[in-house]
Amino acid sequence: MSSYQAEYSVDEQAAIDKEFTRLATNNCYCLDNKSIYLDHAGTTLYAESQVAAAAEQLQRDVICNPHTCRLTGDYVDQVRYKVLEFFNTNEQEYHVIFTANATAGLSLVAENFDFGTSGNFHYCQENHTSVLGMRERVQARAIYMLKEEQISGRDAASVASVASVNGSFKPAATLDNSLVTFSAQCNFSGYKMPLEAIAGIQQHGLPHGPGSRISGEAGMADPSHDNNFYVCLDAASFVATNPLDLQRYQPDYVCFSFYKIFGYPTGVGALLVSRRGAEAFGKRRFFGGGTINYAYPHAMDHQLREVFHQRYEDGTLPFLSIVGLLEGFRTLERLVPRSTTDGGGGGVATMERISRHVHGLAQYLEQQLRELKHPNGQHLIELYNRVGYEERSRQGGIVAFNVRTDTGAFVGFGEIACVAALQGILLRTGCFCNIGACQRYLRLDDALMDGIYKRAGRICGDYFDLIDGQPTGAVRVSFGYMTRREDVDKLLKMLRLSYLATRPQQRLQLIEEQADELPKALKEWAQRRPQLLQLAIYPVKSCAALKIEGGGANWPLTAQGLQYDREWMIVDMNGMAITQKRCTELCLIKPHIRDDQLVLQYGDLSTTVTLPLSLADQAENSSRCRSKVCRQPVEGLDCGDEVAEWLSGYLGMDGLRLLRQSSRRSSPSGEQQQQLSLVNQAQFLLVNRSSVRSLQFEESLDETVDRFRANIIIDTGTAFEELSYKQLTIGQVQFQVEGPCQRCDMICINQRTGERSPDTLTTISRLQSGKMRFGIYISRSSTANSKEQLTCGDVVLAT
């Protein structure tokens, strides 16, 4: 219905853009292109002037431990005032306890809330896992799970009638205390809970019954009414882009993290506690540092501080970060100033404008996504939200969805993340630490959850994106104050180009054209037995291949895989492994093996550098280093200064080192690990040349094959035959199939030139209707005989 209307003036937009120039350069850890950042629900980005000002402050001032220096203590209290002002309240109404983050705030509430003997803990299904964690700490009689509707009511209007009367509801001394926790904004869907519900719950308890009991005893009393009710609001997602007015809504506890509001610093959050909420806190069971007036070592005797917040701030506060918060607030208010041109007398304040801005973008995106259809009428996007995007009071700047092919099949979110990353778009995929919301929106019943997490072994953060064709998570796009409409358009363009099916006849035509090109070769291969064509060893991770090809050429196998494969790796001055994603020139470093030495050559230049192959020669005076590859720890031996300088020189990066892995990642054992191995640690990647042939680009078939960086290249004559293999034998060696390879970050780099062409991937995705399969991961079925080898020309037998 509505189209996007800019919230900012041209000048405002220009000032904001100037703060994020780093997105236009190649400095992103996660991305390799000009970056479009769409994960503000994960963290928003800090403005460059904010961190410059913070650095300047640190350089200029001597800031001491607040326990030593009154001035720093006063400064920290100044920040408390600012926090209270930000939420339109004051120190008469709320206490500010600085915490490490929102989660630490929730944990503090769980630990200190006094449930008495019959108080209950109620939480919402659509909650962050940090709220679920409260279950382990609370000392409640019973624990109940509510559905969102049981808090908000079926229609928001009926809830809205229970407006706050701007006062706390006096708890009855004769009753025990119950605690209700929910998110002000769902970090999965962006749904905003009607905050009017808070006063209703405090006054009357739960309007729609107690929900389902998760643990503990039921007791005689009605758990939805017969207690004093307190509300803990998880505001982490909400306050990042919305104003929270604590005059109007008065939850007893509010927690959040500052990085979600202005990006920097991390490590600081706050728990706001109302006067009423403070009374429901029991005596603390821990103290330390500034939380006490005194504590005797010789007796169990201590006295907590009088000032409320001091009792809960254990140890030394992150005072250097806290003093930097003021600059964060100032930056926001400078970049998105109160507008005086509309909104009546007072104008529209910063957070209100940001809320409008992100909602406007989300509404625009949702509307565009809804209109995307395949030529056969099937919708491209399945959207996950509760009430649509019309009402800003009910929906924030988050859009969650999955992608479907023209047959209605789901495309895995892992692949969307990959394709997006290749275009420089960073978004989040999975369940976003909100399994309850995931379950709700994806309609996963409890049995299916067991199937996903217990039987299939999915864990948070992995890439088991589809199980039996059912998505286990979603794609989430979320906006911040600096997100531009062009960013949203780029995302839309990516989805259109990569996933909207072309007209059916066009696709047929494409396939026929390819068949025409190679009719003779195709026929020839069809008559042959599948065979091993080529082996590729990558001695230095991410560098060029050492190819073994031609009938009879062979290569030894060790317990880890092909001998010397990925045994060396290049790390930067921080010890981080360098991959082609960060430095495409790596593919120009060519390995040769001559006279028991590894020789590295840069491009076609004649200068080389030589390393001993024998580990014995190597170990002498080399230091040990640790690094991580694909989250797996590896331990390596440093290969010395000569090669380090050679690499730094040719790759144009200071401080590079070459490591030789001394403790190789062991091959997975046990069922659980076998599952995990799919992601990144199978021994071999096998590619079928016939499958690659069906994807022909405007380059030689060899060049395309090289892009996949496989170890074992076979040719079966039939495209995608390998995807049906379960086990196979090459020559004398047996392998089992671990699963299809969905790794796709390298394929956009031409391995001969180092040139990047993101279109490669989208073309492939298109030809395969969104199901990209580049080969299969296989591992040895038995490594008993470590003397085995593979020989080019060996027959490949699939079983």
Ligand X SMILES: *Cc1c(COP(=O)(O)O)cnc(C)c1O
Residues that are catalytic: 433
The alpha carbon of residue 784 and the mean position of all alpha carbons in its chain are separated, in whole angstroms, by: 39
Question: In whole angstroms, how large is the CA radius of gyration of the chain?
Answer: 30
Q: Which is nearer to ligand X, 123 or 777 (CB)?
A: 123
Residue 16, φ and ψ in degrees, nearest 5: -65, -45
Q: Which is nearer to ligand X, 101 or 274 (CB)?
A: 101
Task: Tokens 């859009």: give the residue.
Answer: 399
Residues 260-299 that bind ligand X (CB under 6 A): 269
Q: Please count the other Cβ atoms lying within 10 Å of the Cβ belonging to residue 344.
A: 6
Site string for ligand X, 181-220 (x = CB under 6 A): --x---x---------------------------------
Q: Please count the other Cβ atoms lying within 10 Å of the Cβ belonging to residue 786.
A: 11
Nearest distance from residue 645's CB to ligand X, in Å?
42
SS3 string, 501-562, reads CCCHHHHHHHHHHHHHHCHHHHHHHHHCCCEEEEEEECCECCCCCEEEECCCCEEEEECCEE
794 lies in the site for ligand X, by CB under 6 A: no
Distance CA 355, CA 238 (A): 9
572 lies in the site for ligand X, by CB under 6 A: no
630 with 680: CB under 8 angstroms? yes
The helix-helix angle for 759-767 and 485-499 (nearest 10°) equals: 50
Comparing CA positions, the residue from 654, 660, 626, 658 lying closest to residue 644 is 658
Please choose, out of 107-115, 232-240, 245-253, 578-586, the segment that lies near ligand X by the rule CB under 6 A. 232-240
Comparing CA positions, the residue from 402, 400, 424, 398 lying closest to residue 479 is 398
657 lies in the site for ligand X, by CB under 6 A: no
102 lies in the site for ligand X, by CB under 6 A: yes
Three-state DSSP at 129 gives: helix
Total chain residues near ligand X (CB under 6 A):
13
Please choose, out of 101-109, 193-201, 473-481, 751-759, the segment that lies near ligand X by the rule CB under 6 A. 101-109
Q: Which is nearer to ligand X, 398 or 748 (CB)?
A: 398
Q: Which is nearer to ligand X, 184 or 639 (CB)?
A: 184
Please choose, out of 27-35, 231-239, 383-391, 407-415, the segment that lies near ligand X by the rule CB under 6 A. 231-239
Nearest distance from residue 483's CB to ligand X, in Å?
17
Distance CA 704, CA 740 (A): 18
Structure token digits, residue 576 = 């981080």
236 lies in the site for ligand X, by CB under 6 A: yes
Nearest distance from residue 434's CB to ligand X, in Å?
7
352 lies in the site for ligand X, by CB under 6 A: no
Structure token digits, residue 304 = 């907590």
101 lies in the site for ligand X, by CB under 6 A: yes
Site string for ligand X, 58-97 (x = CB under 6 A): ----------------------------------------
Structure token digits, residue 134 = 């409260």
For the four alpha carbons of 164, 169, 175 and 176, in that order, the dihedral sign comes to: positive
234 lies in the site for ligand X, by CB under 6 A: yes
Site string for ligand X, 32-51 (x = CB under 6 A): ---------x----------
Nearest distance from residue 466's CB to ligand X, in Å?
25
Nearest distance from residue 203's CB to ligand X, in Å?
25
Residue 515, φ and ψ in degrees, nearest 5: -65, -40
Comparing CA positions, the residue from 469, 407, 476 lying closest to residue 441 is 476
Q: Which is nearer to ligand X, 238 or 538 (CB)?
A: 238
237 lies in the site for ligand X, by CB under 6 A: yes
103 lies in the site for ligand X, by CB under 6 A: yes
Residue of the chain from 257, 321, 339, 688 that contacts ligand X (CB under 6 A): 257
Long-range contact list for 673-677, CB < 8 A, 24+ apart?
674/738, 675/456, 675/457, 675/464, 676/457, 676/462, 677/738, 677/777, 677/779
DSSP string of 81-97, one letter each residue: HHHHHHTT--TTTEEEE
Nearest distance from residue 101's CB to ligand X, in Å?
3
Residues 363-382 that bind ligand X (CB under 6 A): none
353 lies in the site for ligand X, by CB under 6 A: no
Nearest distance from residue 41's CB to ligand X, in Å?
6
Q: Which is nearer to ligand X, 183 or 339 (CB)?
A: 183
Please choose, out of 82-90, 99-107, 275-283, 625-633, the segment that lies near ligand X by the rule CB under 6 A. 99-107
Nearest distance from residue 237's CB to ligand X, in Å?
3
Nearest distance from residue 236's CB to ligand X, in Å?
3
Phi-psi region of 345 (alpha: psi -120 to 50; beta: other; left: phi over 0): alpha
The alpha carbon of residue 31 and the mean position of all alpha carbons in its chain are separated, in whole angstroms, by: 13
149 with 124: CB under 8 angstroms? no
728 lies in the site for ligand X, by CB under 6 A: no
Residues 455-474 that bind ligand X (CB under 6 A): none
Q: Which is nearer to ligand X, 400 or 776 (CB)?
A: 400
Q: Which is nearer to ligand X, 102 or 544 (CB)?
A: 102
- Maximum Cα–Cα distance across the chain: 92
Triad 75, 78, 80: Cα angle to 5°? 120
Q: Tell me which DSSP letter residue 570 carries.
A: E
Distance CA 31, CA 14 (A): 24
Nearest distance from residue 42's CB to ligand X, in Å?
8
Residue of the chain from 35, 125, 130, 677 that contacts ligand X (CB under 6 A): 130
Q: How many helices (H) and strands (E) does the chain have?
A: 25, 37
Q: Cα dist. 720→397, 688, 695, 774, 797 in Å?
A: 41, 7, 11, 9, 15
Nearest distance from residue 130's CB to ligand X, in Å?
5
Residues listed for the chain: 799
Nearest distance from residue 139's CB to ligand X, in Å?
22
Q: Which is nearer to ligand X, 122 or 128 (CB)?
A: 128
406 lies in the site for ligand X, by CB under 6 A: no
* Pairing between β-strand 776-780 and β-strand 546-549 as defined by DSSP bridges: unpaired
Q: Which is nearer to ligand X, 254 or 571 (CB)?
A: 254
476 lies in the site for ligand X, by CB under 6 A: no
Nearest distance from residue 157's CB to ligand X, in Å?
25
219 with 142: CB under 8 angstroms? yes
Q: Which is nearer to ligand X, 41 or 254 (CB)?
A: 41
Q: Which is nearer to ligand X, 31 or 131 (CB)?
A: 131
For the four alpha carbons of 634, 638, 639 and 641, in that order, the dihedral sign comes to: positive
765 with 499: CB under 8 angstroms? yes
Q: Which is nearer to ligand X, 239 or 656 (CB)?
A: 239
Please choose, out of 212-220, 233-241, 548-556, 781-789, the segment that lies near ligand X by the rule CB under 6 A. 233-241
Q: Please count the other Cβ atoms lying within 10 Å of the Cβ belonging to residue 618.
A: 16
User: Can you give the binding site for ligand X, defined by CB under 6 A?
Assistant: 41, 101-103, 128, 130, 183, 187, 234, 236-237, 257, 269
